[in-house]
Amino acid sequence: MRVARGGGRSGGQRAAARGFFPSCLLLLAFLAAGCATSSDIDPLKSTLTGVQVEMLHQKKDIEQIKTSFSDVSKDLSVLREQGFGAIRESQSSLLTQMGELSKELQVLRGRFDESKYFMDKSMKDLLSERELQQARMAALEGEIRDMKAKLTRLTEQGETAAAAKAREATPAQEPAPDAALPQQTPKKETEAAPNDPQRIYDDAQIDMKEKHYPEARHKFERFIKEFPKHTLTPNASFWVGESYYGEKKFEDAILAYESFLKRYPDHEKAKGAMLKQAYSFVELGDRKTGKVILERLIEKYPQSAEAELAERKIAEILAKNSGTARSSGKSKTKKR
């Protein structure tokens, strides 16, 4: 409405200006000629006054229009800043949420991988437990056979004693020369039973399951000493390290794992020995050496479950190192 009124006044101003200039010229002419009267000059003065008033109104309208435009431009700038600020905030919020979701996804993947690893390990443990049970059954069957052999031998000895008494009563009858020979075979079988390698290994495994680590280690070491070329000797060497690790004797565990890795570098349990050796170094506070061993494990066995555990352990070590660096930096700042 102000603009329209201003427009109307500008049109009136132009019309008044058109009438004003000729009037001024006539006024000047009359004055120059000296023949202008007061009745002729009064209309011109009133017209001039109206034009001046109109010009004042127009100036005010122009100032109001400028003020309105400045207010509108300020509102537009405020709206732009608010809009951009809201967009930036929403973008930063979305990025933060995406980062949190990514972290949660990584945590879930880690938990899934860890659960999968432990499930696989549980299955292997169940299979090994089944084998142990079968070994126990075989051992019991062997003991039953030994008991039967002992009973047979005792029976034969009783019969031999009875025959001897009979011979003493009747000296003319001579005993059969091979009557005592069957007694020696069961005796040899009985003496050989305690040195059975499978029985020693199975007994050691049972002790490991029941967390009797010193007893298990003693049997595994005996197995390695008495049967150095047996197919289960590498496993026994690995389980020696595991017995130390179970007792949290990490220095002894490191040495046992190192001995196993030097003797059997390509064995299927080598990756497990490397993982536990790295864990032992970390437990002793030597994160740097543990990290180096974990990196070697990932490089040598990239597709293994142990490599996935090694990656998570490295991430944990890096997080602890960064946390330690932050705390040391804060303590230095406080001291300053």
User: Is 90 exceeded by the pLDDT of residue 236?
Assistant: yes
What is the structure's pLDDT at 31?
Answer: 56
User: Is 70 exceeded by the pLDDT of residue 105?
Assistant: yes
**N residues, the chain:** 336
Buried b (16+ CB within 10 A) or exposed e, 267-283: bebbbbbbbbbbbbbbb
Q: How high does pLDDT run on average in the chain?
A: 78
Model confidence at 192, pLDDT cuts 50, 70, 90, reads very low
SS3 286: coil
pTM of the model: 0.44
Picking from 54-63, 246-255, 270-279, which range would have the lowest pLDDT averaged per residue? 54-63
Contacts of 136 (CB under 8 A, 6+ apart): 202, 206
Buried b (16+ CB within 10 A) or exposed e, 190-225: eeeeeeebebbbbbbbbbbeeebbeebbebbbbbbe
Closest alpha carbon to 195 in 142, 149, 243: 142
Q: What is the pLDDT of residues 194-234, one digit of tens each?
A: 678 999 999 999 999 999 999 999 999 999 999 999 999 99
User: Is 80 exceeded by the pLDDT of residue 277?
Assistant: yes
Neighbours of 257 (CB within 10 A): 29
Q: What is the pLDDT of residues 29-86, one digit of tens each?
A: 555 555 556 666 677 677 778 787 888 888 888 888 888 888 888 878 787 777 777 7
